[in-house]
Structure 1
Amino acid sequence: MKRTSPLHQLRYAVRHPGRIVPHVRRLLRDTWYRLRTSDHVAYYRAVMKSDTARNPEAAVGSQTHKRWLALGRMQFDYLKGHGLLPEHTMLEIGCGNLRAGRLFIDHLKPGHYYGIDISPDILFAAQATLVEHGLRDKLPHLTPVRDLTFAFLPDEHFDVVHAHSVFSHSPLHVIEECFAHVARVMKPSGWFDFTFDRTEGEEHQVLREDFYYRAETLIALADAHGLDAVLMDDWEKLPHRQSKIRVTRRA
């Protein structure tokens, strides 16, 4: 059953009465930002500004500091286990306040980490994370962006591109924009990992914040842009609600 259906929402409200008021607040905010913003990036930048002002860790999806640490460690351990080396150059799309980025930065050689985000506010929190964890000498690049065209980045520069909990908040045209441009900045041997909220049924969204896709849809979209994509089965075994796809350049 779709999460947007009235019956699903009624059942959910009965099972979780304490979440009714927060959802109403979220609905009112969604309506307000829809009226005041011209596109999805501007809309979600406003959402992140609001969420970051309350709690930067919650803004990136971690309700407790313990969970923030655990999710960052899980992302890092997974990529390191798949061959992320200190000499690699990495681009993290939607780096947030460096939940995983702080571990990537520490692992990589100085200057080898590039983090981008549409939210300047969460990047201010990322700067605080750098200071707190003593990572200033690693010289990471933290850059706000307006889109996912990567126009300011060099050709074939990155060994690894990573986007965690980005496409779960992105309409299909934003994902397609990324697919249309990401191959240019990847080395021929590089890979691009991204997570998404997966559904086996009808694709849908909740408000303008959460998007649910079938894996087949995203794999086919990548294929249309000359990219090979596979669902990462070993990620499915980890304690996370999202699925992961790996994209590589087609020879």
Structure 2
Amino acid sequence: MSGEGEARRNGPRSLLGRVRHAARHPERVYPYARRWARDMRLRLGSRDHVSYYRAVMAHDSAEDPDSAVGSATRDRWLALGEMQFDYLVEHGLKPDDHLLEIGCGNLRAGWRFINYLDRGHYYGVDISPDILLAAQQTLCHYELQDKLPRLSLVNDLKLEFLPSEHFTVIHAHSVFSHCPIEVIDECLANVGRLLQPHGFFDFTFNQTTGREHHVLHEDYYYRVDTLLQLAARHGLNGAFMPDWEERPHRQSKIRLTKPQREPQQE
């Protein structure tokens, strides 16, 4: 792990540590200062975190939709989408599953899911109208219109408009890594309703082994136990997925399932 990555996992540096880091990496000072200024401007004009991050996505999507979802190049966009797709298929995703992708973005992985799943079995939601417009272009590029995917704009993660126990797989890649704990709590309080009894919910997050923290209200770092305990409070079983750590990706992954119902006695 790089020194920067290790520092992020262990928690924020002291002020002196940040000054020393800036002195060693002066090329990073100006980009950070630009992000800090944008963070201040967007937070002043936002009523909550969703509206704030929607503004972040609008800014980033205008420059490059691929970069807005965390891919510096088109090759990286393709590779990260393939990695997500391969992992879910290796871990049980089948063509007849009903998949909900929370934070579908511009369908970095979604176009592969849509192509693989049966017609009408993919549902993607996102808080950003700009990135959903880019998702429509991805559908056209890969000629997936006949698969009848659904794409919806949301204002929160309560997902109250979706049917109960409809989805066998729910997937959120690089969503909780940008969410404060109250937004994650809102999602976990409601996502169990959407899952079929034997379904599962996979999500990635930025892991820290030190103090939980955020970077400019865009990147949030959590301990594994914090998220597992939060899921348990909402009646969900959680398991850390160690084989995901073998993938070339900075985030970690947790899988949530619903407790199995006891068979009724006759």
Task: Calculate the TM-score normalised by the size of structure 2.
Answer: 0.92
Q: Cα–Cα, structure 1 residues 136 and 31, in superposed 2: closer, same or farther, change >3 Å?
A: same
- Which structure would you say has the larger Rg? 2
Which residue is equivalent to 1:226? 235
Amino acid at match of 1:173: E
> What's 1:67 paired with?
76
Secondary structure of 2:185's aligned partner: helix
- Aligned to 1:77, which of 79, 86, 89? 86
Equivalent residue, structure 2, for 1:21: 30
2:152 matched to 1:143? yes
Aligned identity (percent) is 59
One-letter amino acid matched to 1:80: V
The 8 Å contact of residues 190 and 249 in structure 1, kept in 2 or not, is answered as yes
One-letter code aligned to 1:139: L
Alignment check: 8 A CA contact 2:115 2:147 kept: yes
Instruction: Look up the match of 1:235.
Output: 244
Q: 1:65: Cα distance to partner?
A: 0.6
Deviation at 1:218, TM superposition (A): 0.1
1:2 deviation in Å?
2.9
Tell me the distance in 2 between the aligned counterparts of 1:122 and 1:37.
19
Q: Pairwise mapping of residues 184-223 of structure 1 onto structure 2 (< 5 A)?
A: 184-223=193-232
CA displacement, residues 78-108 of structure 1 (integer Å, 9 cap, x when unaligned): 0000010000000000000000001000000
Task: Report the secondary structure of 1:196's partner residue.
Answer: strand
Partner of 1:173: 182
Matches for 1:151-166 after TM superposition, within 5 Å: 151-166=160-175
Cα deviation, residue 4, structure 1: 5.7
In structure 1, distance between residues paired with 2:90 and 2:180: 30
Structure 1 residue 93 corresponds to structure 2 residue 109: no
- Say how many residue pairs are matched: 251
Of stretches 193-202 and 10-19 in structure 1, the one that deviates more from structure 2 is 10-19
Q: State the SS of the aligned residue for 1:127.
A: helix
Change (3 A) 1:67 1:15: farther
Q: Which amino acid aligns with 1:207?
A: L
CA distance 1:136–1:11, shift in 2 (3 Å): farther
Alpha-carbon RMSD across the aligned residues, in angstroms, is 1.0
Report if the CA contact (8 A) 1:168-1:196 is conserved.
yes
Note if contact 1:4-1:205 (Cα within 8 Å) is conserved in structure 2. no
Q: Is the 8 A contact 2:237 2:258 kept in 1?
A: yes
**What amino acid sits opposite 1:159 in the alignment?**
T
**What is the alpha-carbon distance in structure 2 between the residues aligned to residue 66 and residue 55 of structure 1?**
14
CA apart distance, 1:193: 0.2
Residue aligning to 2:128: 119
**Cα 1:155–1:245 shift into 2, 3 Å:** same
